[in-house]
Amino acid sequence: MSSKITIRLFVLLLVACVGLVQSVEKVHAQDDAGEAVIQPYSENPWYWQYEGKPLVLIGGSNNDNLFQWTGSKLTDHLDLLVSLGGNYVRNTMSDRDDGDAYAFKKLESGKYDLDQWNEEYWDRLEFFLQETSRREIIVQLTLWDHFDMSGGNWEKHPWNPANNITFEAGVLEGEEDFYGGSVYDDNKEIIAYQQKYIDKLLSITLQYGNVLYNINNEGSQRKVWDNYWASYISEEAKKQDKEIYVTSMIFDPSSSVRHVMTYRDLYSYAEIAQNNQDSRGARGPAHYANITNWRDKLQSDPMPMNNVKVYGSGIGDNYSAGSRKEAVARFWKNIFAGSASSRFHRPEGGWGIGLEEHAQTNIKAMSMLLEEFNIFESVPHNDLLSSYVTSVPSAMEAYCLANIGEQYAVYFPEGRYTVDLDPWIFARELQIKWLNIDEGTWSEPETVSMEWEGGIQEWGHRGSVRLTTPGNESYVAFLEVVEP
């Protein structure tokens, strides 16, 4: 074989090898990109996964439309959340607060041109998504918030024909017409501009894998509105080879679950945040029971249940929201009932505790528990608990997650409680340690013996471990089986 042929074959072989390496790298890059998208956990679809790892979404923030914040005001807030172990924020595309930017350009006349963008609005969104993505914070983004145009807000909003040069007078009569007069009545002019807005939004958000989509905030419109936009954004995402995960928050939490179950082809998770307030949800054990009831309904086709808002502030002067004590308990009960997320709503002062001191304490403590406890192999198991005062069952308030035979976690709200835990296996000893939520500290582990009624070898008798909270603060008991 001549030297020229040998060199030519070598060159061809080298090119082929380089091509193979590039193909492999491309495949790996695609795999990595897929893992970097928030999606239901492949091994347990009650939860989420991101970058190939399962996670529980926990958080709090002092604004519901964080994208409107700029510079260090935003980044310092995100850094604080991450320092506590938090990874979850809410973002409504809202524009009703002082200092908020509108999406459309304002002309010298004082009116808006719906054919021109206000780049400041979109730059803020881009910056927000860059900073949350960099910190691996998951964003639950709400497209439409009808409160932006309710009451006096409609009088100044760019969508109002009186405030823009785009629509003729009378094409929209008010907020209800903006929703009802577009999709319901097939008003093609209005729909075209609504789609233009959503297209611009998606051109930015689809570049980021840390975004979950919610159509409506506390929606009370007919279902066709929510379903129209859920279908629209999913189809637009598919055109760009993207898969997104969508829900819609109905004003009533039970209706939210019914809605996503009815239209399972459109929705991939349930948003049950309205359960976390006094007026639409429930207090005490009833709050927990609501979630486990909805979980039972979803059992045949599981999906994550999110709680993007946990209400409650102060002593409960806001009757609809409830108290700060209730907010803290709800934050924990959401997770112990098997929810995929829990986030404190708004700053202290009426509706929630945001990322204030009490929220920080509980987010940090939850993060500490999740570092020790494998929640992804556990399920709610309050059937393992019983009141040691059998004549007063209502005296017990405790909530259990368990991977039977391995690990158990029992949450106790503020107060002093004693309950019996039946691990439901034959065992002599378990190791226990207590997480003091308020102090953010673990006790030293100790070994406790199971007590058996009638003896461990007797048929029909049960074994249990008695759990008494060490003090009046909120606690979690974390137990592991030492030896079956």
The last residue of one of the domains, among 321, 347, 372, is: 372
- Check whether residue 412 and residue 312 sit in a common domain: no
Q: Residue 50: helix, strand or coil by DSSP?
A: strand
Distances (CA, A) of 319 to 279, 323, 326, 330, 345: 7, 8, 12, 16, 15
- Check whether residue 324 and residue 439 sit in a common domain: no
**Beta strands at 441-442 and 104-106: parallel, antiparallel or unpaired:** unpaired
What per-residue confidence (pLDDT) applies to 258?
A: 96
What per-residue confidence (pLDDT) applies to 6?
A: 47
- Check whether residue 175 and residue 323 sit in a common domain: yes
Full DSSP string of 153-194: HHHH-TTSGGGBSSSPTTS--SHHHHHIIIIITT-HHHHHHH
CATH classification of the domain holding 399: 2.60.40
- Going from the first residue of the chain to its last (484 residues), give the mean pLDDT of each consecutive group of 10, the final group possibly shorter: 48 44 37 73 98 97 97 98 98 95 98 98 98 98 92 92 94 80 84 97 98 92 90 98 96 94 98 94 93 97 98 92 95 98 90 96 98 98 84 72 97 93 92 98 96 74 89 96 80
The last residue of one of the domains, among 372, 391, 414, is: 372
d(CA 148, CA 93): 9
- Tell me if 273 sits within 8 A of 236, measured CB to CB: no
- Tell me if 205 sits within 8 A of 129, measured CB to CB: yes
What per-residue confidence (pLDDT) applies to 367?
A: 98
Q: Residue 253: helix, strand or coil by DSSP?
A: helix
- Check whether residue 419 and residue 469 sit in a common domain: yes
Please state the pTM of the whole predicted model. 0.91
Helix or strand run (H / E) with residue 484? none
d(CA 147, CA 151): 8
- Check whether residue 248 and residue 193 sit in a common domain: yes
- Tell me if 349 sits within 8 A of 313, measured CB to CB: yes
Residue 13 domain flag = no
* Other CB atoms within 10 A of residue 382 CB: 20
d(CA 160, CA 175): 8
Residue 393 domain flag = yes
- Check whether residue 392 and residue 293 sit in a common domain: no
- Tell me if 330 sits within 8 A of 284, measured CB to CB: no
Residue 214 domain flag = yes
d(CA 224, CA 216): 12
d(CA 349, CA 182): 36
Name which of 115, 94, 118 is nearest 192 in CA terms. Answer: 115
- Check whether residue 167 and residue 239 sit in a common domain: yes
Query: Partners of 387 in the beta sheet?
Result: 419
| Phi and psi, residue 225, nearest 5° | -65, -55
What per-residue confidence (pLDDT) applies to 24?
A: 38
The last residue of one of the domains, among 372, 399, 414, is: 372
What per-residue confidence (pLDDT) applies to 178?
A: 87
Query: Partners of 89 in the beta sheet?
Result: 139
Q: Give the count of domains, the chain.
A: 2
| Three-class DSSP labels, 214-242 | EEECCECCCHHHHHHHHHHHHHHHHHCCC
Residue 8 domain flag = no
CATH classification of the domain holding 323: 3.20.20.80
Q: Supply angle C-alpha 38, 243, 145, rounded to 5.
A: 75
Which residue, chain included where needed, has tokens 């020790």? 372
* Other CB atoms within 10 A of residue 182 CB: 21
Q: Which residue segment(s) compose the domain that 210 sits in? A: 36-372
What per-residue confidence (pLDDT) applies to 283?
A: 87
- Which pairs count as long-range contacts for 291-298, CB under 8 Å and 24+ apart, including other chains? 291/333, 291/334, 291/337, 291/338, 291/339, 292/337, 292/338, 292/380, 292/382, 294/254, 294/257, 294/270, 295/46, 295/337, 295/338, 295/380, 297/257, 297/261, 298/257, 298/261, 298/270
**Beta strands at 305-306 and 270-271: parallel, antiparallel or unpaired:** parallel
- Check whether residue 337 and residue 421 sit in a common domain: no
- Check whether residue 143 and residue 217 sit in a common domain: yes
Tell me how long the chain is: 484
What per-residue confidence (pLDDT) applies to 7?
A: 47
What per-residue confidence (pLDDT) applies to 461?
A: 64
Name which of 425, 377, 420 is nearest 398 in CA terms. Answer: 420
* Other CB atoms within 10 A of residue 195 CB: 14
